[in-house]
Amino acid sequence: MSSNRLAGETSPYLRQHKDNPVHWRPWGDAALDEAKALNKPVLLSVGYAACHWCHVMAHESFENPEISAQMNDLFVNIKVDREERPDLDIIYQAALNMLGEQGGWPLTIFMTPGGDPFWGGTYFPPEPRFGRPGFGDVLSGISDVYHSDPERVKTNVAALRQGLESLAKSEPGSLTSLNALNQIADRLVQENDSEHGGIGSAPKFPQGAIYEQLWRAWKRTGKPEFKAAVTVTLDNICQGGIYDHLRGGFSRYSVDDRWLAPHFEKMLYDNAQLIDLLTLVWQETRAPLYEQRVAETIAWLMTEMAAPGGAFISALDADSEGVEGKYYVWTAAEIDEFLGVDAPLFRAFYDVTPEGNWEGKCILNRLAIQQFSDTATEANLRRSREALLAHRAKRIPPGKDDKILADWNGLIIATLANAGLVFAKPEWVDAARRAFDFVQKSMTNQDRLWHSWCDGKANHPATLDDYAAMARGALALFEATGDNGYLVHAEHWVSIADRHYRDHEGGGYFFAADDTPGLITRTKTAHDNAVPSGNGMIANVFARLYFLTGNAAYYMKAEAIITAFSGAVTKNFFPLSTLLNSAEFLQSATQIVIVAHRDDAVPLTRAVYDLSLPNRLVSIVEPQTTLPVNHPAHGKGQIDGAPTAYVCQGAVCSAPVTEAESLKQSL
């Protein structure tokens, strides 16, 4: 007797569907074997817990008795959480793109019992609308073709197989020069919206790696258009509706071109990247807005995204009570009722009007009045925000996706460690340490990482992104604490990546390990998506390990990754920002070696962290420590017993510096 088999799964997304009348199966051999035995095609549905349109399709179709019966009769139905199984999602998203369709979620793929895709789409309405066929008609049509025209299915399978095999091929080239990076930045800035910020038009995504690339270009060249592109974008993001002005935290993207109306889900990875970018830019601009958004967002993370044990959960849903954004929006009448005499001031600053600014409601934003006002006014606005937050807390909140992902936690670990250093917040570094300890202890099996943890269980094979992001987090904690154990972990994890992910023939690293079961192919890319690319991140890790240890093998590995993909730069550099930023770091890293006991080094480290240095790498070396013989600061010590800094680029180090102000000047 067939039934829905998702109740025993750990994924919050899969559990959302455990009561559907659809006979869902989790991904695995059992489901595919069932399809073979029944000679039925497979319907693969991929989504995630915070996805609005996934909820829509679930309510319209997967909870619909007639459509569910049709799905059960004609298909073996498999449900996958794309955040738990990004290795599967990346394959089937690519297949959809090869069919000429734009990808996204929910992803709906029709496959053979062997797991080979032959047709697909994303969201389908229950009846024809939006220019899309009704889902029931799609189900009937696909089933008919599968059984009546097997040659057509085989033709599609063969073509897609050939296309998917090409995903493992890279386009090698030479190490991208600094001059070429400047030319790329010139081209990128042309795509920036000079009024509102952001790349292109609606919808707009924060694109942290691209704006880091433009900030780096400004630091290299001094061209004001590069700096303006970054600051205008950050100003609008920080004051727009994409930011939660009551609690902190950024939504995933804006559906309009001025950052007013967000897609209300909040993702851990977006906030990690935005905090990091705001921190880097604040070091130069000292903008109070950026400092405030960093502090507020980290406070939100600590309160609403921290899981028991120290790691961070994945996301907050876009919907509450089945309505997108309901938890976050207001009416003018509510503002008047809750704020009383303070309402007119708040309404003027936060764009609250009787007619609303979004579907008859008001998304709080300060796009029209971005500059901070006088101290008394801002204090009044802060009290009003606190009052509204207290009222909002009485609403039914969005659901939480409480699974813990190694790669996303690696991103936030590095971000918190760095921000803790820059803003002198040791409690942020401590939070990074707790998250690191959780992943290292609870998500490791015989020295191999797991990708996901939920309901007390670690699960699913780790991806390249997991190893790259966690190694980067380890190195950030090594810089922040001086604990050599973090360096050991980073070196261990890149050795695992070398053993199980490296493409020894074509260069670069595969997304999935060589022993990941159930994949019809292994993909390899340096393209950024919502998160930085694994190849881009691990190139940066290898570069850092080279500068920290002096081991030339790490340099060669970093260079090999970058050159394995750099041939694609001439075709499309937009998704390659993380890789290109790593290329600059490899060529231009500035090592600040401080010979001192850690507590005594604070004045010199403070001088470093006060500056915006994208290529910074700080090492605090105890006076009795001997650096490797091929390290540029080998043999260099203190001057007259005082904490002493050396600024090294390549194999050359500066004269010793003992005064903080002198160190700032040399940097």
Query: Could you read off the pLDDT of 441-473 as tens digits, one per residue?
Result: 999 998 999 999 999 999 999 999 999 999 999
Contacts of 291 (CB under 8 A, 6+ apart): 282, 423
**Domains 177-327+395-402 and 404-575 equal at CATH topology level:** yes
Answer yes or no: are the C-beta atoms of 538 and 464 closer than 8 Å.
yes
Nearest to 76 by CA among 33, 136, 117: 33
Whole-prediction pTM value?
Answer: 0.96
CATH number of the domain located at residue range(s) 404-575 in this protein? 1.50.10.20
What's the pLDDT score for residue 42? 98
Nearest to 163 by CA among 113, 103, 118: 118
Answer yes or no: are the C-beta atoms of 663 and 657 closer than 8 Å.
yes
Q: Which amino acid is at 456?
A: G
Tokens of 470: 């966690």
Q: DSSP letter for 47, please.
A: E
In whole angstroms, give the CA distance from residue 590 to residue 613: 8
What's the pLDDT score for residue 597? 95
What's the pLDDT score for residue 187? 96
Only one residue has tokens 């959780």, namely: 438
> Angle at the Cα of 389 (from 388 to 392), degrees rounded to 5?
85
In whole angstroms, give the CA distance from residue 421 to residue 667: 18
Answer yes or no: are the C-beta atoms of 530 and 269 closer than 8 Å.
yes
In whole angstroms, give the CA distance from residue 122 to residue 319: 19
Q: Buried b vs exposed e over 276-307: b needs ≥16 C-beta within 10 Å?
A: bbbbbbbbbbebebbbbbbbbbbebbeebbbb
In whole angstroms, give the CA distance from residue 612 to residue 369: 27
Domain 12-168 -> CATH class: alpha beta
Answer yes or no: are the C-beta atoms of 536 and 578 closer than 8 Å.
yes
Region of residue 649 (phi > 0: left; psi between -120 and 50: alpha; otherwise: beta): beta
Nearest to 39 by CA among 141, 122, 152, 148: 148
Nearest to 187 by CA among 638, 572, 609, 492: 572
What's the pLDDT score for residue 205? 96
In whole angstroms, give the CA distance from residue 650 to residue 195: 40
Helices (H), 132-287: 135-148, 150-165, 178-190, 208-221, 224-239, 268-285
Low-confidence ranges of the chain (pLDDT < 50): 1
Answer yes or no: are the C-beta atoms of 632 and 650 closer than 8 Å.
yes
Of 3.10.20.30, 1.50.10.10, 3.40.50.1220, 3.10.20.740, the CATH number of 177-327+395-402 is 1.50.10.10
Q: Could you state, in order of their start, the residue ranges of all structural domains in the chain? A: 12-168, 177-327+395-402, 328-394, 404-575, 590-666
Q: What is the largest CA-CA distance in the chain?
A: 87
